Amino acid sequence: MNYAIVENGKVTNVIIAQKDFAEKIGAINIEGSPVGIGWNYTDGIFSHEVTDYDEEGKGIGTHTESWQAEEPAPELTLEERVEALEVTTTELEALEVERMMNEFNA
């Protein structure tokens, strides 16, 4: 199923996961929805601004698209998410160093 990862009221990632894992990390079920990265999330409702265009392709205004989650997700801290993933701080630091080295060498 599709789940949204929400941080500070914004969808930062969309994942495909099994229900038990998704719930463990605080992800929100968005199966069958148009929700994507960048959408806002407040009190169980996802939303984002959509630009409306005329027949010539010129922007003529905006409207808000929204989608109601089946049930609100628990608010988990970063530490709680890391703990749920069973990853140590040392492993996270090593991954960050590896990511930075890859960017530097690219």
Instruction: Compute the distance between CA of residue 17 and CA of residue 8 in angstroms, rounded to an integer.
Output: 21
pLDDT at 13 over 90: yes
* CA-to-CA dists, residue 14 to 27, 52, 59, 100, angstroms: 9, 25, 28, 23
Predicted pLDDT of residue 61: 92
Predicted pLDDT of residue 86: 66
Confidence of residue 94 (pLDDT cuts 50, 70, 90): confident
pLDDT tens digits for range 74-92: 666 667 766 766 666 677 6
Please state, rounded to an integer, the average pLDDT across all residues of the chain.
Answer: 85
CB atoms within 10 A of CB 32: 9
pLDDT at 39 over 60: yes
Helices (DSSP H) in the chain: which residue ranges?
A: 19-24, 78-85, 89-105
**Domain range list for the chain:** 2-74, 76-106
